[in-house]
Amino acid sequence: MRMRKKKHGEERILACAELLISDPTVLKDDPRIPFSDKEKELCLEIGCGKGNFAVGMAEKNPDCNFIAMERVRDVCCIALEKAMACKETRPDNLRFIIGDADNLDEWFPEGSVDRLYLNFSDPWPKAGHAKRRLTHRNYLARYKRMLKEGGLLIFKTDNVGLFDFSLEEFAEFGLEILWQTRDLHNSERAEGNVMTEYEKNFSEKGFTINSAIVRF
Ligand SMILES: C[S@@+](CC[C@H](N)C(=O)[O-])C[C@H]1O[C@@H](n2cnc3c(N)ncnc32)[C@H](O)[C@@H]1O
């Protein structure tokens, strides 16, 4: 996600400090440290963009703790501000990391995450860029280490090329595809679906949404 540099970006991020995990290496000891209720399931979204999904999911699922990760500071700033504004009391089950999925191994202990969400990940359409796709087997190997045994990856994308590639990667990596659809909004999982910014935009333009749930 490209974005013009935000005015006063750093001050705005600082104003949301209570929701930001500024040093994600602290998670390596215990990824539940940022949360008051440490018994809840831990969910991670990678590439949260402007935060609609993370904020909506945290509100709808008070029994889960959510960490939303975004590598572009100015984009994460918008997500942080959305979370700060979402209700009088700040969500106590949602925290953000400004950082890259390439660092997952340094931040999350083995078998620590229950569910991983990838929403409208960058498709990197050129064959030479396949390794950058967040569903490439190199990333799946990182997720396998970080997720609990039987942990779920829940994936949504408008991009048919990325979806086909991802299904092949899941199968070749030996993962069980529990559910898939080429039209999420007309499926049995439409109810309760929390839309992302990209999802809203693409579906308003008439694109159908592909989705898969995969067990590790
Ligand atoms: C196409 S946007 C989708 C944003 C949001 N998930 C949505 O559906 O509206 C993809 C986002 O993932 C972020 N991203 C891409 N690769 C990433 C990585 N390796 N680590 C963290 N964030 C990443 C990008 O900066 C961008 O904001």
User: Domain limits of the chain?
Assistant: 1-44+58-109, 110-216
Query: Which protein residue has the closest C-alpha to ligand 1 atom 16?
Result: 47
Long-range contacts of 166-172 (CB under 8 A, 24+ apart): 166/133, 166/135, 166/212, 167/212, 169/135, 169/136, 169/137, 169/140, 170/135, 170/140, 170/212, 170/214, 172/137
Is the pLDDT at 1 greater than 70? The verdict is no
Is the pLDDT at 3 greater than 90? The verdict is no
Query: Which protein residue has the closest C-alpha to ligand 1 atom 5?
Result: 49
Read off the pLDDT of residues 173-214 as tens digits, 9 standing for 90 and up. 999 999 999 999 999 999 999 999 999 999 999 999 999 999
Q: Is 1 in the pocket of ligand 1 (CB under 6 A)?
A: yes
The kind and range of the H/E element at 103 are: none
Is the pLDDT at 61 greater than 80? The verdict is yes
Q: Considering the entire predicted model, what is its pTM?
A: 0.96
Tell me what the mean pLDDT of segment 31-43 comes to: 95
- Residue 166: predicted pLDDT: 98
- Residue 87 Cα to ligand 1 midpoint, Å, equals 25
Instruction: Give the largest CA-CA distance in the chain.
Output: 47
Give the CATH architecture of domain 110-216: 3-Layer(aba) Sandwich (3.40)
The Cα–Cα gap between 10 and 130 comes to 33
- Residue 7: predicted pLDDT: 73
The Cα–Cα gap between 216 and 212 comes to 13
The H-assigned helical ranges of the chain are: 9-14, 52-60, 73-85, 104-107, 137-146, 160-172, 197-204
Q: Is 64 in the pocket of ligand 1 (CB under 6 A)?
A: no
Total Cβ atoms within 10 A of residue 105 = 13
- Residue 9: predicted pLDDT: 87
Note whether 1-44+58-109 and 110-216 share their fold.
Answer: yes
Assign domain 1-44+58-109 to its CATH superfamily: Vaccinia Virus protein VP39 (3.40.50.150)
Read off the pLDDT of residues 134-169 as tens digits, 9 standing for 90 and up. 999 999 999 999 999 999 999 999 999 999 999 999
- The proportion of the chain whose per-residue pLDDT surpasses 70, expressed as a percent, equals 96
The Cα–Cα gap between 29 and 47 comes to 23
* Residue 122 falls in the annotated catalytic set: yes
- Residue 187 Cα to ligand 1 midpoint, Å, equals 25
**Residue 67 C-beta-side C-alpha neighbours within 13 Å:** 28
Is the pLDDT at 46 greater than 80? The verdict is yes
Query: Which protein residue has the closest C-alpha to ligand 1 atom 23?
Result: 47
- Residue 86: predicted pLDDT: 85
- Residue 34 Cα to ligand 1 midpoint, Å, equals 22
The Cα–Cα gap between 79 and 73 comes to 10
Tell me what the mean pLDDT of segment 5-23 comes to: 91
Read off the pLDDT of residues 79-128 as tens digits, 9 standing for 90 and up. 999 999 986 667 899 999 999 999 999 999 999 999 999 999 999 999 99
The Cα–Cα gap between 123 and 130 comes to 9
- Best residue among 44, 48, 140, 202 to mutate for probing ligand 1's pocket (most ligand atoms within 8 Å of CB) is 48
The angle, 0 to 180 degrees and rounded to 10, between the axes of the packed helices 137-146 and 160-172 is 60
The Cα–Cα gap between 214 and 126 comes to 25
Q: Of ligand 1's atoms, which has the minimum distance to the CA of residue 99?
A: 21
Query: Which protein residue has the closest C-alpha to ligand 1 atom 20?
Result: 100
The Cα–Cα gap between 202 and 127 comes to 24
Q: Which residues on adjacent β-strands are paired with residue 34? A: none
Catalytic member of 100, 102, 105, 122: 122
Read off the pLDDT of residues 166-184 as tens digits, 9 standing for 90 and up. 999 999 999 999 999 999 9
Q: What phi, psi does 72 have (nearest 5°)? A: -95, 115
